[in-house]
Every structure is written in C-alpha cells, then in structure tokens.
Structure 1
Amino acid sequence: MNDVLSVRTLNRTLLERQFLTERTGLGPAEVVERLVALQGQEPNWPYLGLWARVEGFRREQLAELLADGRVVRAASLRSTQHLFGGADFGRWRPLLQPVLDRTSRARYFAPATDGLDLDELAAAGRELLGGGTLSRQGLAGGLAARYPGRDGKLLAGAVQLRVPVLHGPDSSAWGGWGTRANTSLALAELRPGELSAGAAVLRYLAAFGPAGVKDFQSWSGLTRMRAVFEELRPRLRVHRDEQGTELFDLPDAALADPERPVPVRFLPAYDNLLLGHADRTRVLAEADRPRVMPGAARVLPTFLLDGFVAGTWAVGGPELLVRPFRPLPDAAAEEVAAEAGRLAAFLGTGPRVVLEPAS
C-alpha cells in the first residue's frame, strides 16, 4: 500500500530540496543546476531566488556566471525565460523544443506569422543571427525587412522560440524591475547529449518531488508524460497525497520531518517554489492563490511563514512594502520584519521596511 503524505510532509520536503529550510553552502552555479533552472523573465528575480537559498550570496557571483557562460538565459520551460547551467541548457532545449514550437503557433504571433512557413522563418532568423551577436531590435528589423508589412517584433519572438537563442548577460544584469527593452542575442551551440524524457523526470523529482504526472507537465510544459512515468515506475517510490493522487519520487530520496521548524523566507516573483507543481497547495492555500497569481501570467513576490505563503511584498520607491494576508502574531511579525530587513540590505537601495496591515 502506498504511503499517504500529509500537506506538511510535502511542504517540508519541497522546502528542503529547494534549499529553503536553511541556506546552502553550495555555489550558485551548482544550486542552479540542482534546481534545473531559475525563472528569469525579469532580470532581478533570479538574484533574489539565489539570495534566499545560498549562504552569503552576492549579486556579483551570478553576474560573473552569466558573463563567462557558466549560466545562460534563454526560452525553455513553459516557453518562458529561464537561467540554466551553460552545459545543461544544451541537454534540455531539444527535449523542450516541442513546447516552444507550440507556443510559436499561438494566436499572439498570428498577426505577423499567419500564412508563413515557420520553418522558413526560423531559417531566416538563423541566417540573421549567424554573423554573431545581434540586438533584439536588430533581429526584429532584419525580419521586418524580409517580410514587409509584418510586425518584426512578433517575428523575432517566434524565431526565438523555434531557434535556440541565448540572451546576452546584459539581459540579466541587476538593475530595474522590468524586462529589458533591448538586449543582445546569439545562437546557442547545442552539443550532442540530449536529455531523455525519463532523465528529465528524475532531475525534476530530485528538486520538486514527490510529485505527480500533472505536476511535471505543468512545470515543464511537456504533455502526454504518463507513459514516461509508467516506464519509470519500477525505479521509483510511489506515494499518494491526502486526495489520493499518485506522487512519484526517487527511491533513495528522504522525506522531511513535517514538524521541522523553518525560517521566514522572502521569495522573488515567479519563484520555483510556486511554479513547480500543478497542485500548489503544498505551499500556497487555494484561497490565497488569486492574491499571488492575479492574472496576466503574473506571480507576485511572496514571503513564507511556517513554510507556507503568508503574504506578498513589493518595492515602492524608498520602501519595502510587506503585505501579510492575515494578522501576524507579535513573534511572527518580528521574524518577518527581521528577514525583510535582510532583504532590504541585499537590495542595496536602502528601502525602509513597512509592514502593512493584513489585507
């Protein structure tokens, strides 16, 4: 009979595997690889994700990894921008290409791509990028010239999905809180050694398990993965959650003590912890989900109390605004304020911490 895992067991196990019960002494490059990738749609957030996980992390450490290619930024999981280990990206990108191809056919791109052969568009993009580094605006301009009357920006977006394109380190430099208006692009050199679907599942479970088939599909964007899990079943440990859903895990992976005390943690927008599963109740109560994921594909920065999302935060000019969902007991409020102060110090802009009334 399969073990039934409580929400708290799943919570504490996920926190441990995500280096959130205590900060790790591993280097940032190894942490990125252990977590598979860090969501990097906007430049500042991966720095904060590493700050929450790595003891003594400094912004310069990630900047150096990006500058020398040990960490790269590109479209990948769920067709969104992620930071991958440089060698790891080449293994994951071919596996994820069907997801990216599917996105390139989305209605968003149709005004520019309708009637075009998308393979020919990809070839045109490769040719433009073949000379070395090209700005995003340069790629859009070159494609608009080849396809008169069509939106070059949309064409460039479709090319970046169908062709393995790396975004230059400038796209991930610490700075503003929005996406870069322009950045440098270069073709990625994919070496042999594509990751199999089964190997990808094992990597995922090491960082996010125990988890179900739908969890992996939600995290990766890949579909029809049941057969892969079934093939792996003899090599995996199988549990169930309290709703009866099958959860798979590595056979030698430890489960955490559900009563283990955990510290307050402040997480960036789009953090792995919130996007690693279809069922997010192991870290986020369903009633609070609209407050964290208010629509338009946004996932707000959050803070954890006792391992669960207890509120959001934002930088508002000179202030770091902390917004709990419910009134905090005095001791918890002190712990939240103390960790918020450490976050403010990391941000380096000297924001004053404001703990707002519960909303």
Structure 2
Amino acid sequence: MTTLDARALNRATLARQCLLERSDASVPQAVAQLCGLQAQEPQEPFVGLWSRLAGFRPGQLDDALTDRQVVRTHLMRRTVHLVTAADALTWRPRHDAMLRQRVLGTYRRELADVDPEEVAAAGRAVMADDRPRTMSELVRALEDRWPGPPRRALGELLVAALIPMAQLPPRGLWQSKAGVRNLPLATWLGRDADPAPTAAGDPIGQQLVRRYLAAYGPAASADLRAWCGLTGLPTAVKAVREELVAFRDERGRELLDLPHAPRPHPDTPAPVRFLPAFDNAILGYHDRSRIIDHDHLGLSVAGHRAVLVDGRVAATWTVRDRRLHITPLRPLTAAEQEAVHAEARALAAFLDKDIAHVRLDPGR
C-alpha cells in the first residue's frame, strides 16, 4: 500500500479545497464542492471564497443567499455552516440525532426534565405562522409552559437541534451586522427536508463519505468523523469501500480516497493564501498535521485567521486600526515575504475597509 507523506497529503488537500489555483466555479458550485463552509462567524465565508474563486465578488454570495441557493444552518459538528439548499435538505435528517445529542449533552442538567418531543411540537406550532423569529422571541413564546430551563438552553435545543432552521438574510450578507432570525428550513426553501433513510447501508452516509473524500481526501475514518460529528459511519464506509482506493500515511494509518480524485505531485508549487477563521481546510480533519504544525493547533480552534505559505499555516492575520496585520509563526524568506505582501494587498483591496497599511511582523 502506497505511503503518502505530509507534503503529498497537503497538496491533495489544497487541490480539493481550490487553494492551489482559484476555481471558475459559481458560488453554489463551490459551496457544494467544498461540502459547505464553516460560517459561525458570518463574514468569514467571504474571505474563504475570495481565496478560492477567480474574480469572486461579495455580491455573488449575497445573491446566492437571498436567492435561497445556499443557506446558513446548524449542521456539521453542531456549528453553523453555509451549504447549498439541496445539501441542507438531504443531509439534515442524517444529522438530527447528533445535533440533539450534542445540545442535550451540553445542557444535561438544565434540560433534564424537558421532553424534547413536546418542546419540538410546541416550537413548530409557534413557527407555523411563517414569521421569522429570533431565538429569544421563540423562547418567550414557550416560557410559560417551560419556565424552568434557562432561555439559552431551551433556545439552542429548539433552533440548533429540534427544528431544522435557516438563518435568514441579512444575516451573513456582506458587511452586515444583522442578528439571527430563524425560519424553518422547509418554509424558507419551499419544501421539506428529505425523509430519514430507511434503506440498509445508510445511503446518505454513503453520499457523505464520497463527498467528504472529494473535498478532503485522502483521509482516515477518524477525519470523516471529526468533520461531520456523526456516528455510525463505518456502515457507510463499508458499503462504498470497493469504490475507493487506500493509502497509508507516515504514521501507518489507512487513508481512503476516490480513485480519480486529484493527488498532485508533492513538489507542486502552492501560492500564498489567506484563510478565514475556522476554515475547514484546517478543521476538516482529526489529524491536521498535513496543513498545520502541532505547536500551532490551538490557533485554528481559537478562531485565528491563518496564512498559508507553501501550503502550510505560517502566519496569522487580522485587521485593526486601518491595518492588515500579519504575524509570522516562523521566519519567512525574502521571496515568501514578497508573496505574502502581494496577496495581503489584494486582500486589503477586496475587504474594502479603508485599509491604509499592510504590516508584516518579524518572524518568530
């Protein structure tokens, strides 16, 4: 079985994530190809798409949201993701149990005396008038019946787990600071989510395996679980295994992949790319060593924005006081500094925040 080193895996990830060269795909096509984008911070997907799509303009994502081609919803790992309408409707039933378990686990004591089925029925009745509501408004409509649980716990149970919800625009639009207004996903998109599958072999799970590998492979089963947060996927992996090819990483782990997916040569040049907070190119794996050093793993989960140099996280960046500020995590060569500066200037122009300076600190 062929062994793939970290550099080979890195180039495969960059190719699948449109980070080796910018794609000509439309926003909905790119969101589908990437299996969604992490969108807990509503402005971050704009940078993620700018780094991946040729000629990307913020209005393209705005249009996809307002036209209901893509939607913001709780999905993988119980976090808000930007996914296509079709994927939201197909994937949500497979995520229902995980979402419920995670919320009930987080608020185990606060929700101990609550019947989730009764809460879900009451919540659906309140939302039946098709009026968007904030989480607080929805909870206030139910607090006479459930006065005990904290509002936050009851609200998250409703909007993140029990009722598939869309977060409506203007939330998530370019440079908008709008709060979250929720509407049932079926109402916003005009049709119900696909029914939970009853066929043997977990067909939605099989689709998730194929789609994940197309966007993130080669990868281990643990990486797949880390990306989506789902259990019970070994059945789906087993069902599609004959379609897949297998490799080993340098630790001896088995990695699975689609046979004809891109696996560029490890020496393929990788351009500088600026990633948003919580980008799935980093968070989409259990073993993130292909793209970030172990000493820096905490940066990604803490929400620091990353700069890829030669395909790996080599700096963080932020915007403050009209300055795009870059902090290297290692010394950068003169050529690397020049490439970082060039991409930073392009990003500053895209962000359109009256950024006057690009500052690159000395390397650590």
TM over 0.5: yes
Q: Distance in 2 between matches of 1:84 and 1:110?
A: 32
Aligned mate of 1:203, from 173, 186, 211: 211
Aligned AA (2:88): F
Residue in 2 aligned with 1:283?
291
Q: Distance in 2 between matches of 1:215 and 1:131?
A: 41
Residue in 2 aligned with 1:338?
342
Count of residue pairs brought into register by the alignment: 350
What does 1:33-52 align with in structure 2 at a 5 Å threshold?
33-52=32-51
Deviation at 1:154, TM superposition (A): 2.4
1:135 equivalenced with 2:140 (yes/no): no
Aligned mate of 1:350, from 350, 354, 358: 354
Q: Distance in 2 between matches of 1:348 and 1:254?
A: 34
Aligned AA (2:297): R
Alignment partner of 1:279: what SS?
coil
Residue in 1 aligned with 2:92?
93
8 Å Cα contact 2:59-2:174 kept in structure 1: no
Would the alpha carbon gap of residues 145 and 212 (structure 1) be closer, same or farther in structure 2, given more than 3 Å must change? same
Deviation at 1:149, TM superposition (A): 4.1
What does 1:272-311 align with in structure 2 at a 5 Å threshold?
272-290=280-298, 292-293=299-300, 297-311=301-315
What does 1:1-359 align with in structure 2 at a 5 Å threshold?
2-108=1-107, 110-111=109-110, 113-136=111-134, 137-160=136-159, 161-175=161-175, 182-189=179-186, 190-192=192-194, 196-290=204-298, 292-293=299-300, 297-351=301-355, 352-359=357-364
Alignment partner of 2:166: what SS?
strand
Q: Distance in 1 between matches of 2:14 and 2:66?
A: 30
For normalisation by structure 1, the TM-score amounts to 0.93
8 Å Cα contact 2:132-2:181 kept in structure 1: yes
Would the alpha carbon gap of residues 109 and 50 (structure 1) be closer, same or farther in structure 2, given more than 3 Å must change? farther
- Structure 1 residues 55-105: Cα deviation after superposition (integer angstroms, max 9, x where no partner): 010101101110010000000000000011012210010111121011121
Q: Distance in 2 between matches of 1:192 and 1:81?
A: 20
8 Å Cα contact 1:303-1:309 kept in structure 2: yes
Alignment partner of 1:257: what SS?
coil
Among the aligned pairs, what percent are the same residue? 37
Question: Structure 2: where are the runs of 5+ without partners?
Answer: 187-191, 197-202
Q: Distance in 1 between matches of 2:255 and 2:62?
A: 37
Q: Distance in 2 between matches of 1:276 and 1:123?
A: 34
Q: Distance in 1 between matches of 2:109 and 2:82?
A: 28
- Structure 1 residues 147-185: Cα deviation after superposition (integer angstroms, max 9, x where no partner): 224323321111111210111012212226xx85x3221
Q: Distance in 2 between matches of 1:138 and 1:214?
A: 39
Q: Distance in 1 between matches of 2:25 and 2:106?
A: 42
Question: Structure 1: where are the runs of 5+ without partners?
Answer: none
Q: Distance in 2 between matches of 1:338 and 1:46?
A: 21
Q: Answer with 102-111 or 235-244: which moved more.
A: 102-111
Alignment partner of 1:143: what SS?
coil
Q: Distance in 2 between matches of 1:306 and 1:34?
A: 23
For normalisation by structure 2, the TM-score amounts to 0.92
Deviation at 1:254, TM superposition (A): 3.0
Q: Distance in 1 between matches of 2:141 and 2:66?
A: 26
8 Å Cα contact 2:38-2:80 kept in structure 1: yes
8 Å Cα contact 2:15-2:263 kept in structure 1: no
- Structure 1 residues 275-315: Cα deviation after superposition (integer angstroms, max 9, x where no partner): 1110000000112213x14xxx5231100000000011111
8 Å Cα contact 1:109-1:158 kept in structure 2: no
Aligned AA (1:60): G
